[in-house]
């Protein structure tokens, strides 16, 4: 072998290894010495997370551009338990946050049903479960949020799995003197056996015991303590909550916050974000920021701001998604891309326009990536997709008219002569296209203080949350008589000149308790010979008894359905369908339909139930010549910056009735006569600068209560623009509503002359 060649190869290997070692050393030197600090800092913020940022909802405006609902920018404090560290750091941070809130007078979210100060007690009678029964009387128990968490955390055994959860044993009763004497004859001083404790599940803890168990689970060093009163009564020492240096009320506050966090992390509560406090001021924010508390996030957001105290039933509100709705909303695909548009923490419209027009108002959430260092501090944010604000919804509502009608009902109803008058409602519709111009329900509530006033309103026997305008169903009474009149005229049962003699009692079928005309029943008088116009003016029951009998129930119901009575009107909001009386409905309830029942149906009684929305649309259909349009609250939708029209409502015809002009004029003339000839109504309409048609109605509910008062009207008579329907529960005669209805008409037409439309952004001003 060539020695010289061998040495060259060895030296080549040595040089190669030296170069490799030198390169590696230089690289390590560069990493560790030259750029060590830089790379170390980079390793501190490699904890990324993806966040969904909810978009701002669109505004809600009335038909004249008046903003009704908008957004208000606020700061809120959110707690993220994943960033709070171990139990000690977490508890210290929460306690510091509590003390900061107390110092600044900030109220925080704490729904733990235990009093916040000593002595601790449950603030509800059923903290762990609720009891309900079905139609068959079977009783069932459902765990509350506290109950579900308590079972998961093993603070209690499941009380819904035992037929009768055991109660805490009562303190032993002190024997009476007689009992002591009797015991002497039963063996003197023999030792009696101690009473046996009842067998069965563990008794449910009292508030103090539960709080102790919570403190232990949350690592506040708490232990379950017995109730003070029970311990004192039993002559036993009263143990205190073993919570180290923490004050008992501080421990309760921290436990309440951790309870909210555990509800979410243990999937007891659907939303996994805990908003500690909302709409906080800069002083509180500064105090929190200075302490740099882990897991305490101060962030900007928006909440709904109400610019009117009216139309609460129409506007609706915004809430988090409820637990039972999660599956529905997370699978709801509004934009058709095959992906659900909602996350568990999203908010949704609840009732009114907020819910009905959710698809326009909600916008599209954005997604961003947030990187944190190991201390939880955010070091960078990257938008993957920015949020898109919702569109603006313009309603058909005239908020000025709405406010006037609501104030009118609130002022007038309590002053009615009927002491039984309770709730009321009024609907104003555009005759030509069924725009809802106003829909008032009395009593009402304040959307801005919905949560604060909820308990009071929920317990109010007048049910302020019930929208009587759309969901309250009432017998139409004599306001139904125009249906019978039109049906009789169009079916040639009568003509405009046909006269029927009112004989007081209608004895076609029998003379035993025959139906009576109201005039005979009250005054033992008769209307004499009346045609259809006069019959409507004087509201002659006898006339409509006879026309209804000759029509037959099927024909009468058919005409009523064409006018939309007993059917939904097509409104975007929740509404009642009501009931149109007839054999099918009576027999469905297990009753018997009699041929003579049609006399009651023909005058708006029997089992017919209609809403004020249906009644107003029926009058609109009548006076516009027979075209029944779907009622609606949506006028148009505009883009968030008002630069584009996204959607414009097109009228929808639900049905038509071909009413001959002469027949229609005969019916309208009767309604005109109500406002010009009727002694009880004329005084309220005679000074209006236009003519109007109207009809009164009273619907007897029971012999023990006043009848519901109903009133309908339209104006102007020659070219109708609006129709009004009004009801007062137990308000007696419908004529008492004439004054209010005349005021509504007068306000509408007088305000038309003075109203100025509010210009919107990107709109040319002429």
pLDDT of residue 171: 46
Question: How far is Cα of residue 44 from the mean position of the Cα atoms in its chain?
Answer: 47
Q: Are 295 and 90 in contact (CB under 8 A)?
A: yes
Among 237-241, 483-487, 492-496, 729-733, the minimum mean pLDDT is found in: 237-241
Determine the average pLDDT of the residues in 97-112.
91
Q: Pick from 422, 415, 413: which is nearest to 707 by CA?
A: 422
Q: Are 483 and 621 in contact (CB under 8 A)?
A: no
Question: Does 271 score more than 70 pLDDT?
Answer: no
- Please report which helix (H) or strand (E) contains residue 558, including its range: helix 553-562
pLDDT band at 222 (very low <50, low <70, confident <90, very high): low
Higher pLDDT, 331 or 40: 331
Token look-up 């076609």 returns: 508
Pair of tokens at residue 704:
């023990």
Question: Does 765 score more than 50 pLDDT?
Answer: no
Q: Are 289 and 78 in contact (CB under 8 A)?
A: no
pTM given for the model: 0.78
Q: What is the per-residue DSSP string for 629-676?
A: EPPBSEEEEE-TTSSSEEEE----EEEE----HHHHHHHHHHHHHHHH
pLDDT of residue 681: 92
Determine the average pLDDT of the residues in 12-17.
85
pLDDT band at 384 (very low <50, low <70, confident <90, very high): confident
pLDDT of residue 226: 44
pLDDT of residue 224: 45
Question: Does 588 score more than 70 pLDDT?
Answer: yes
pLDDT of residue 205: 85
pLDDT band at 239 (very low <50, low <70, confident <90, very high): low
pLDDT of residue 182: 53
Q: List the chain domain ranges.
A: 74-129+141-159+204-298
Q: Which residues of 513-539 are buried (b: 16+ CB within 10 A; e: fewer)?
A: ebbbbbbbeeeeebbeebbbbbbbbbb
Tens-place pLDDT, residues 503-518: 999 999 877 789 999 8
Q: Are 160 and 141 in contact (CB under 8 A)?
A: yes
pLDDT of residue 715: 95
Question: Does 176 score more than 50 pLDDT?
Answer: yes
Q: Pick from 623, 598, 610, 609: which is nearest to 488 by CA?
A: 598
Tens-place pLDDT, residues 122-148: 988 888 888 876 656 677 788 888 998
DSSP 3-state of 397? coil
3-state SS track over 331-396: CCCCCCCCCCCCCCCCEEEECHHHHHCHHHHCCECEEEEEEECCCCCEEEEEEEECCECCCEEEEC
Token look-up 């009842």 returns: 198
Pair of tokens at residue 390:
């919702």
Pair of tokens at residue 384:
């993957």
Could you give phi then psi for residue 589, rounded to 5 degrees? Answer: -90, 5
- Computed over every residue of the chain, the mean pLDDT equals 84
Q: What percent of the chain has a predicted confidence (pLDDT) above 70?
A: 82
Higher pLDDT, 730 or 429: 429
Question: Does 188 score more than 50 pLDDT?
Answer: no
């Amino acid at each position: 072998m060539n020695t010289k060649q061998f040495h060259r190869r060895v030296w080549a290997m040595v040089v190669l290894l030296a170069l490799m070692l030198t390169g590696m050393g230089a690289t390590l030197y560069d990493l560790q010495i030259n750029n060590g600090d830089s790379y170390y800092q980079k390793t501190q913020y490699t904890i990324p997370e993806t966040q969904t940022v909810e978009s701002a909802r669109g505004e809600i405006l009335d038909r004249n551009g008046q903003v009704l609902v908008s957004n208000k920018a606020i700061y809120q404090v959110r707690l993220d338990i994943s960033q709070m560290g171990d139990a000690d750091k977490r508890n210290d941070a929460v306690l510091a946050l509590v003390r900061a809130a107390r110092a600044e007078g900030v109220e925080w979210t704490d729904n733990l049903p235990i009093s916040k100060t000593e002595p601790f007690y449950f603030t509800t009678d059923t903290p762990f479960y609720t009891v309900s029964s079905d139609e068959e009387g079977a009783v069932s128990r459902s765990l509350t949020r506290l109950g579900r968490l308590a079972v998961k955390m093993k603070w209690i055994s499941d009380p819904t799995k035992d037929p009768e959860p055991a109660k805490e044993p009562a303190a032993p009763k002190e024997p009476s003197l007689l009992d002591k004497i009797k015991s002497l004859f039963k063996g003197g001083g023999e030792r009696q056996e101690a009473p046996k404790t009842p067998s069965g599940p563990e008794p449910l803890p009292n508030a103090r015991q539960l709080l102790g168990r919570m403190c232990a689970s949350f690592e506040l060093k708490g232990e379950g303590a017995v109730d003070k009163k029970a311990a004192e009564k039993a002559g036993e020492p009263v143990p205190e909550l073993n919570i180290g240096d923490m004050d008992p009320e501080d421990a309760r506050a921290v436990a309440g916050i951790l309870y909210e966090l555990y509800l979410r992390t243990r999937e007891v509560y659907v939303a996994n974000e805990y908003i500690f406090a909302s709409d906080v001021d800069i002083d509180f924010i500064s105090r929190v920021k200075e302490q740099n508390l882990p897991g305490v996030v101060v962030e900007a957001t928006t909440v709904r701001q109400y610019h009117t105290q009216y139309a609460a039933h129409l506007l609706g509100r915004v809430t988090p998604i409820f637990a039972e709705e999660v599956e529905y909303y997370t699978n709801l695909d509004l934009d058709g891309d095959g992906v659900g548009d909602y996350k568990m923490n999203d908010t949704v419209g609840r009732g009114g326009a907020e819910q009905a027009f959710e698809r326009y108002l909600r916008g599209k959430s954005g997604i961003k990536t947030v990187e944190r260092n190991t201390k939880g501090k955010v070091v960078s944010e990257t938008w993957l997709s920015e949020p898109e604000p919702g569109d603006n919804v313009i309603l058909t509502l005239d908020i000025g008219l709405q406010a006037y009608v609501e104030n009118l009902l609130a002022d007038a109803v309590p002053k009615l002569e009927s002491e039984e008058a309770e709730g009321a409602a009024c609907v104003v519709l555009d005759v030509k296209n069924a725009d809802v111009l106003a829909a008032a329900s009395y009593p009402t509530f304040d959307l801005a203080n919905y949560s604060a006033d909820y308990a009071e309103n929920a317990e109010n026997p007048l049910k302020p949350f019930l929208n009587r305008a759309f969901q309250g169903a009432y017998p139409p009474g004599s306001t139904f008589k125009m249906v019978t009149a039109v049906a009789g005229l169009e079916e040639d049962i009568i003509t405009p000149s046909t006269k029927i003699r009112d004989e007081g009692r209608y004895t076609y079928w029998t003379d035993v308790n025959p139906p009576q005309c109201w005039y005979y029943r009250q005054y033992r008088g008769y209307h004499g010979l009346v045609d259809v116009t006069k019959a409507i003016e004087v509201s002659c029951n006898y006339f409509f008894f006879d026309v209804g009998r000759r029509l037959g129930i099927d024909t009468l119901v058919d005409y009523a359905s064409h006018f939309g009575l007993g059917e939904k009107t097509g409104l975007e909001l929740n509404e009642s369908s009501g009931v149109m009386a007839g054999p099918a409905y009576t027999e469905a309830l297990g009753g018997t339909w009699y041929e003579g029942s049609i006399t009651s149906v023909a005058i708006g009684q029997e089992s017919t139930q209609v809403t004020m929305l249906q009644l107003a649309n029926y009058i609109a259909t009548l006076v516009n010549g027979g075209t029944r349009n779907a009622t609606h609250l949506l006028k148009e939708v505009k883009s968030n910056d008002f630069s584009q029209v996204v959607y414009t409502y097109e009228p929808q015809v639900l049905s038509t009735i071909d009413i001959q002009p002469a027949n229609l004029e005969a019916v309208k003339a009767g309604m005109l006569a109500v406002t010009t000839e009727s002694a009880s109504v004329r005084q309220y309409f005679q000074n209006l600068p236009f003519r109007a048609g109207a009809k009164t109605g009273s619907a007897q509910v029971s012999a023990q209560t006043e009848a519901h008062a109903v009133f309908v009207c339209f104006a102007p008579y020659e070219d109708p623009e609006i129709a009004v329907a009004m009801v007062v529960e137990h308000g007696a005669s419908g004529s008492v509503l004439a004054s209010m209805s005349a005021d509504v008409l007068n306000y509408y037409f007088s305000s038309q002359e003075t109203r100025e439309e509010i210009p919107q952004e990107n709109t040319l001003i002429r």
